[in-house]
Structure 1
Amino acid sequence: METGKAIAFLLASGQGLLLSLALVVKGLRQERSNLFLGLILYVLALELLNAWGMQVRYHSSPDSIPFWNLQSYLLLPPSVWFFAQLTTTPGYAFRQKDWLFYLPAVVEVLLRFGWSFYRRSTGASLPSLLDNPGWFLVTELLPIFGTAIALWFYGRKLVFFHRSLKRHAFRLSFGLFVRLYSLFCFLLLTTVIWAAGVLLEWPVFAGLEIVLTLSLFAFGYIGYANPAFFTLPALPDVKSSEKPEFLHYDDAKQLERLQTVFRQDALYTQSKLTVDDVAKRLQLPARYVSYLINTRCATNFTHFVNGFRVEAVIRKLNDPAEHHKTLLALALEAGFNSKSTFNQVFKHHTGQAPSHFLLVKK
């Protein structure tokens, strides 16, 4: 029984670490929100790997590698906060100076490695850093409260998402509902168990290990099967509904012009199309074009453009005159710049992969 549990911990933590690495790499290259989701899963995967180490008494082995020193709960509050901002706030940008929020975690890891190295090299019988009240407060208690605050903010943004969609007469599909709330509920559950174990000293960590094992297996499978699952839609910016700086524009007329340049002029076929390009074409301020898309279409610029591109691909798939072209050729003609991007966007908009869509169509 114990051996089986140790194997499950090791496999789930390994899968979680691989997924976190993939998300971090992807986040550094394109979708920045994936970077912070990767950091969140990294901390949780290391927690489960640490549970494996204690299960098999790896920590007490003289040849053990102190991987547990790489873990810092201080990574969680800023990562949850920035993930929530990037997936729920239109136009939100992560700034270089925001990396300073991760400085405490870096300091903690360096101090833990220094403490461990000194103890091993000198053989001195040093107390655990957690025995120090100040260290325990900063590295154990503050991350719990910080993560709770970040989740409260995240939850409010998700409620705002529901209200904004309702205001624009949009229905939230079951698939999107699961994508939005599964991660939030998972983080909320783990934080509650975490707080109960540390603050109330309840014997709940066995339950936390089970939750982490099952969730990392599930997230790992989903991440490999559908990488776009973790790319959540940004919320429409409805705060600017009074548009005080655009009072002289007729929204209905300008929205018709916007849709015309996309539907009739196929502006979406430009692979690197930006909101500035569209604004220049319409001779309108870029901020006003963003306002129209956010409030009148209940989406952001990227999803707005990709919607037309997906429609164009589907339209050509149903056209016998286009059957001699490959799916990739149709995607590139529609404005997509890579096969991977097309696959992710297509599944996000239709709920199924392009290959599955073709099978159903046939």
Structure 2
Amino acid sequence: MKAILFNLHDVMQFITIYQCVLFALFLWLFRSKRRGNVLLALFLFAQAAIPLDNLIMYGTAFRQWAIDFSPNIFYLFGHAYWLEAPLLLLYVRAMIYRDYRIKRSDWLLFLPFVAYVLFEVVNYYRLDYAAKVVILQGYDTFAPPKLTLSVGFLRELFRIVCGILALIELLRYQKRIKDEFADIEKIDLTWLKILVLGFLAVRMDSMFVSTTLISSFAPSLGIDLDFWGLAADYAAMLLVSALIFFSMGHSQVFAGFSQPETKEAEKPEEKPIISPEQISQLETYMKEKKPYLNCLLNLENLSKQLQMSRGNLSQLINRHYQQNFFDFINTYRIDECKRLLSDPANKNQTMLEIMENAGFNSKASFNTFFKKKVGMTPTEFREKLNQTAS
């Protein structure tokens, strides 16, 4: 076989397919069946189908081979475009919310996929073999039919909307972190932000190409659509590589929190009533039991210890003390540090030991928060105490 079917760009597409399928199978077969892992595997399978669709539709020599093989494989893998975007959105939600369950409303994200399947059945798959070959032989990849362009535009618009929704979920998570956790040092959103923003940029690139084709401005403006199309393909390959690298090392990085209760989401204006008894209960518990000494303490842990709902406790801290959970707990820890540093019995303890005994497990957070609350570093505070004592 001497015919050359692939060029360098085609090889890049195969690398993307190989990476996606291999890592998806690894997640499916060898990782726990956590909802996040399953959704990530499905997303990767969808991502693998996209470059395969590109090869079939636009590969110079591969396209003709595909026509000879079977015209029925055309448009088949293009369905993945309508799946990868909602799957990435659901994956982000599964990473953020520990108790995430796919709701009935989430299935609406797959209605465009169903609509596209029906569209292709009516407009292509119901045709006989000869009619399909005629369509494919006469298809101009640089001047596709207006209906095809319109569907492509709607597809890219849908993918961008899903990307924006995923970004909104991340921003909401970032906003709520300090309301749920007292230690945020190890909560790293960077790689997931890169993933979401990266694929959003790829979709924006595809939208630019789609819009340019519809408007027919490319020739007059000298826009190289081949370049922009390939840029999106190479960017997708790099993003998949980054996804594999970072997800292997950071898949457990998110402690996650529970999804807001439905009625809270529907009626955000209804705030729980804060009673003096609840305030007294919280302050007494913090003073006597000192739960803040546990470096793993979070809002849900504390609410269970107090036998109070998570929402009520959060509202109590936010509204009565005008603080988020992070500031509230670490203020107690700073007071404990000051008490330990002031005790002569602890004069030989290192600052690291003082920090750990007060409930901190991050030196950076300890130093930063101590200086913010006290106005000096822990070391300066200790030196000032020693000068006063002498």
TM band (smaller chain): 0.5 to 0.7
Question: After superposition, where does 1:95-114 map in structure 2 within 5 Å?
Answer: 95-96=103-104, 98-109=106-117, 111-112=119-120
Out of 159, 175, 185, the residue aligned to residue 147 of structure 1 is 159
Out of 38, 62, 73, the residue aligned to residue 66 of structure 1 is 73
Aligned to 1:49: 52
TM-superposed CA distance for 1:68, in Å, is 4.7
Cα-to-partner distance string for 1:109-160 (whole Å, 9 max, x where unaligned): 36536765544634555547996645643x4222322333333343344344
CA pair 291-217 structure 1, distance change in 2 beyond 3 A = same
Aligned to 1:270: none
Q: One-letter code of the match for 1:70? A: F
Q: One-letter code of the match for 2:325? A: R
TM-superposed CA distance for 1:15, in Å, is 1.4
CA distance in 1, matches of 2:86, 2:259: 23
CA pair 221-119 structure 1, distance change in 2 beyond 3 A = farther
CA distance in 2, matches of 1:133, 1:212: 27
TM-superposed CA distance for 1:210, in Å, is 1.3
Query: Helix, strand or coil: the match of 1:14?
Result: helix
CA pair 157-102 structure 1, distance change in 2 beyond 3 A = closer
User: TM-score, structure 1 length as denominator?
Assistant: 0.58
CA distance in 2, matches of 1:146, 1:77: 8
Identity of aligned residues (%): 15
Q: One-letter code of the match for 1:17? A: V
Cα-to-partner distance string for 1:171-217 (whole Å, 9 max, x where unaligned): 86598142232112211221121111111245100111211222223
RMSD between aligned alpha carbons?
5.1
CA distance in 2, matches of 1:118, 1:222: 43
Cα-to-partner distance string for 1:36-71 (whole Å, 9 max, x where unaligned): 444444433322223344436333222257175133
Query: Structure 1 residue 244 and structure 2 residue 252: aligned?
Result: no
Query: Could you tell which deviates more after superposition, 285-294 or 209-218?
Result: 285-294
Query: Helix, strand or coil: the match of 1:244?
Result: coil
Q: One-letter code of the match for 2:113? A: A
CA pair 220-30 structure 1, distance change in 2 beyond 3 A = closer
Query: Helix, strand or coil: the match of 2:129?
Result: helix
Question: After superposition, where does 1:71-220 map in structure 2 within 5 Å?
Answer: 71-72=78-79, 73-88=81-96, 93-96=101-104, 98-109=106-117, 111-112=119-120, 117-119=125-127, 121-123=129-131, 127=135, 133-134=146-147, 136-137=149-150, 139-165=151-177, 176-201=188-213, 202=223, 203=225, 204-220=228-244
Query: Could you tell which deviates more after superposition, 47-56 or 6-15?
Result: 47-56
Instruction: Decide whether the 8 Å contact of 2:46 with 2:83 is kept in 1.
Output: yes
Query: Helix, strand or coil: the match of 2:63?
Result: coil
CA distance in 2, matches of 1:257, 1:29: 41
Q: One-letter code of the match for 2:86? A: P
Aligned to 1:354: none
Query: Structure 1 residue 226 and structure 2 residue 252: aligned?
Result: no
Instruction: Decide whether the 8 Å contact of 1:25 with 1:35 is kept in 2.
Output: no
Question: After superposition, where does 1:267-286 map in structure 2 within 5 Å?
Answer: 279=304, 282-285=306-309
Instruction: Decide whether the 8 Å contact of 1:180 with 1:232 is kept in 2.
Output: no
Aligned to 1:296: 325
Q: One-letter code of the match for 1:197? A: V
Instruction: Decide whether the 8 Å contact of 1:12 with 1:45 is kept in 2.
Output: yes
Instruction: Decide whether the 8 Å contact of 1:69 with 1:113 is kept in 2.
Output: no
TM-superposed CA distance for 1:230, in Å, is 8.2
Question: After superposition, where does 1:319-338 map in structure 2 within 5 Å?
Answer: none
Instruction: Decide whether the 8 Å contact of 1:81 with 1:154 is kept in 2.
Output: yes
Cα-to-partner distance string for 1:259-288 (whole Å, 9 max, x where unaligned): 75996xx99xxxxxxx79x84x75444654
Out of 10, 16, 21, the residue aligned to residue 20 of structure 2 is 16
Structure 2 unaligned runs (5+)? 214-222, 319-323, 328-390
Instruction: Decide whether the 8 Å contact of 2:31 with 2:37 is kept in 1.
Output: yes
CA distance in 1, matches of 2:173, 2:188: 11
In the TM superposition, structure 1's runs of 4+ consecutive aligned residues that sit over 6 Å from their partners are: 24-28, 166-172, 235-242, 256-259, 289-294
CA pair 258-10 structure 1, distance change in 2 beyond 3 A = farther
TM-superposed CA distance for 1:95, in Å, is 1.4
CA pair 226-169 structure 1, distance change in 2 beyond 3 A = closer
CA distance in 2, matches of 1:254, 1:140: 59
Structure 1 unaligned runs (5+)? 268-274, 299-362
CA distance in 2, matches of 1:126, 1:232: 55
Instruction: Decide whether the 8 Å contact of 1:119 with 1:125 is kept in 2.
Output: no
TM-superposed CA distance for 1:11, in Å, is 2.3
CA distance in 2, matches of 1:259, 1:192: 51
Instruction: Decide whether the 8 Å contact of 1:24 with 1:34 is kept in 2.
Output: yes
CA pair 5-192 structure 1, distance change in 2 beyond 3 A = same
CA distance in 2, matches of 1:114, 1:257: 71
Count of residue pairs brought into register by the alignment: 287
